[in-house]
Amino acid sequence: MRALPQPNTQNLAQSIYRELLAGLSGALVGAPQAMAFALIAGVEPIYGLYAAIVATLVGALLDGHGVMTIAPTNALALVVGSTLAPFVDGSGGELARLFSLTALVGLFQLGFGVLRLGRLMRYYDAAVLTGFISGAGLLIVLNQLPTLTGLTLAGGDTLSRSVEWLRSAAEFAPKTTLMGALALALMLAFWWTRWRRYGTLVGLVVVSVLVAALGWEEVTRLQDIATLPRRLPFFVGPDWGYWPALAPGALAIAVLGLAQSAAMARGLPEDQAEFLKRLDSDSQDFLAQGLANLAGGFFQCMPAGGSLSRTALLLGAGGRTRWSNVISVLVLAGLLVSVAGLAEQIALVALSAQLVVAGLRLINWRSIRRIWGSGWAGQAALSVTFAATLSLPLTLSVFLGMAISALLFVRRRRRKVRANGWRHGTK
């Protein structure tokens, strides 16, 4: 009788080990990321952590890629903050609007998925997306400069506050500025090594421990501006009455999140990008992100999307299945209910340094050079979108990007038809 083939237990053990390692790495790096991105959106860090639990778990179970991490991202957080800014009045009303915004983003994405509009995101022009993302990165850097140097500046647009920051150089808080410079130096030093994805964690820990050891109370810690309750997110129904006012922002966030996810493979190393391309299923991604955000709207989350940095981290650590994301969620949930008080000791300036590094990483110089060498159309699209991101409301910038992408697509089609006509002798 022929013996049955025996399973390769060594390969199975190695696969389980890689998924566990990837999940643990995702939790340790994803937690400070989620908190920092919540600060960009102008909400308390806990709502970023909740999104990194609920949205990531729902996305991992439903997404076609499985290993693609659906979590808060820096560009989305910037648009969320811009959308909620008109409603900030000191009474906390923006919080209820945040949950309604997240649910509405999910509904828009679900609609795109049901209508099978996934492939349309491929026509969101690369020059437009690069211009917007690069502008968003610069905005994030400029917005963090006051926190990085211990200044509190009055409201106004980002560019005017940056000018005011330069004029206030004599008022920089020395200890805060020193810790900010140290955090930046550590994170950037790791950037050029094989351990670059852990540079943020090292910078956060070293600077926060130093601040506590030196007793520098002048350096603001996370607990001075927010609290992290030791509990998991609970059910809160979104307020339907807010949706008409939030609809334009929600649509912009939905489109941007899906466009980022569709373009994600272009930002990954070649071997990792090929892995995602083999699992390509855009419409299923739309449904997964939509359900992740819809669930997030009912469980106190900010909007989430496909995270390039988190996905690259999991793939780089050996994660190849949805279980790396599930493990990451379980570890993060465990950390939240057990050591949330420890996280409150993180120096705010270290989170600010993390955001500066994240903003710099959004500026993809390789893509900019490639687009700049492609001709005047790409140059114009990149320049206009970049300038609009810096000067216009971000929601309007996203819609402007959609219009420019449509024009570029029509232009390419007309040139192709014209070229085919000449080739077949019809002209």
Count Cβ atoms below 10 Å from residue 232 Cβ, excluding itself: 14
Three-state helix/strand/coil letters over 259-299: HHHHCHHHHCCHHHHHHHHHCCCHHHHHHHHHHHHHHHHHC
Angstrom distances, CA of residue 176 to CA of 132, 149, 161, 170, 216: 31, 6, 19, 14, 9
Angle between helices 243-262 and 93-114 (to 10 degrees): 50
Residue 107 maps to a domain: yes
How much is the pLDDT for 423?
55
SS3 state of residue 71: strand
Q: How far is it, in rounded angstroms, from Cα 218 to Cα 231?
A: 29
Taking CA 47 as the corner, what is the angle to CA 46 and CA 53, rounded to the nearest 5 degrees? 90
- pTM summary value: 0.89
Residue 5 maps to a domain: no
Q: Exposure of 20 by Cβ count < 10 A (0-12 exposed, 13-18 middle, 19+ buried)?
A: middle
User: Is the separation of the CB atoms in 75 and 224 below 8 Å?
Assistant: no
Residue 3 maps to a domain: no
Query: Which residues have a Cβ under 8 Å from the Cβ of 196 and sit 6 or more positions away?
Result: 190
Total domains, the chain: 1
User: Is the separation of the CB atoms in 202 and 29 below 8 Å?
Assistant: no
Q: How far is it, in rounded angstroms, from Cα 227 to Cα 35?
A: 11
Eight-class DSSP state of 242: G
Instruction: Look up residue 109 and give its two tokens.
Output: 């994405």
Residue 4 maps to a domain: no
How much is the pLDDT for 415?
80
Of 285, 240, 233, 245, nearest to 121 by C-alpha is: 285
Longest dimension (CA), the chain: 86
How much is the pLDDT for 280?
46
Which residue segment(s) compose the domain that 229 sits in? 10-423
Angstrom distances, CA of residue 48 to CA of 58, 59, 210, 233, 304: 15, 15, 26, 11, 9
SS3 state of residue 155: coil
Residue 199 maps to a domain: yes
Residue 187 maps to a domain: yes
Of 34, 33, 30, 60, nearest to 47 by C-alpha is: 34
List, run by run, the mean pLDDT of 10-residue segments along the chain (427 residues).
55 84 90 94 95 95 80 94 87 86 96 79 82 92 92 79 88 94 93 82 93 94 90 91 94 90 64 54 78 97 91 82 93 93 92 91 89 91 94 90 89 77 55
Angular region, 116: left φ>0, alpha ψ -120 to 50, beta rest:
left
User: Is the separation of the CB atoms in 401 and 385 below 8 Å?
Assistant: yes
Residue 396 maps to a domain: yes
Residue 2 maps to a domain: no
Residues in the chain: 427
Count Cβ atoms below 10 Å from residue 217 Cβ, excluding itself: 11
